[in-house]
């Protein structure tokens, strides 16, 4: 299986955002995946507008894909709340239940860190 990260952009959002939306819609354990307040998922078009605004404001969202299987979406990782003064940011990642406990989180984090730090781990 060849895995890779795809950066979500305005140009490819229609290819990847429906999967992210579906993951958010079907996740049954939301409160276990964040320390932030749980908000109701808006309709798809509002969700898309919100994501586009976050991308325009510098948020980076990467999708882990299986390149050997039609770019099957496996999970996502994002960088947000960048603080230029402290040179700090937060990351959050998510794998749908069907992709958990298979080593994908390790792959996702390794690819993300090597991409962000421009190094090979």
Q: What architecture does CATH give domain 3-117?
A: 3-Layer(aba) Sandwich (3.40)
Tokens of 54: 């976050």
Q: How far apart are CA 100 and CA 92, in angstroms?
A: 15
pLDDT digits (tens, 9 = 90+) for 39-71: 788 999 999 999 999 999 888 999 999 988 888
pTM: 0.85
Higher pLDDT, 30 or 82: 82
Higher pLDDT, 26 or 12: 12
pLDDT given at position 37: 74
Cβ atoms < 10 Å from Cβ of 51: 19
**Residue 41 near residue 25, CB atoms below 8 Å:** yes
**Residue 39 near residue 31, CB atoms below 8 Å:** no
CA angle 25, 92, 104 (to 5 degrees): 80
**Residue 74 near residue 104, CB atoms below 8 Å:** yes
The mean per-residue pLDDT over the stretch 82-103 comes to 88
pLDDT at residue 101 is higher than 90 = yes
What ranges do the domains of the chain cover? 3-117
pLDDT at residue 15 is higher than 90 = yes
User: DSSP 3-state assignment of 84?
Assistant: coil
pLDDT given at position 85: 86
**Residue 55 near residue 10, CB atoms below 8 Å:** yes
């Amino acid at each position: 299986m060849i895995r890779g990260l795809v950066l979500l952009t305005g140009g490819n959002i229609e290819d990847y955002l429906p999967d992210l939306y579906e993951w958010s819609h079907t996740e049954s354990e939301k409160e276990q995946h964040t320390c932030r307040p749980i908000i109701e998922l808006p309709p798809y078009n509002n969700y898309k507008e919100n994501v586009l605004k976050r991308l325009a404001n510098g948020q980076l969202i990467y999708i882990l894909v299986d390149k050997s299987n039609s770019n099957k979406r496996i999970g996502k990782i994002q960088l947000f709340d960048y603080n230029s003064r402290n040179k700090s940011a937060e990351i959050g990642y998510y794998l749908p239940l069907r992709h958990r406990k298979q080593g994908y989180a390790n792959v996702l984090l390794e690819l993300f860190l090597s991409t962000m730090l421009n190094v090979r781990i």
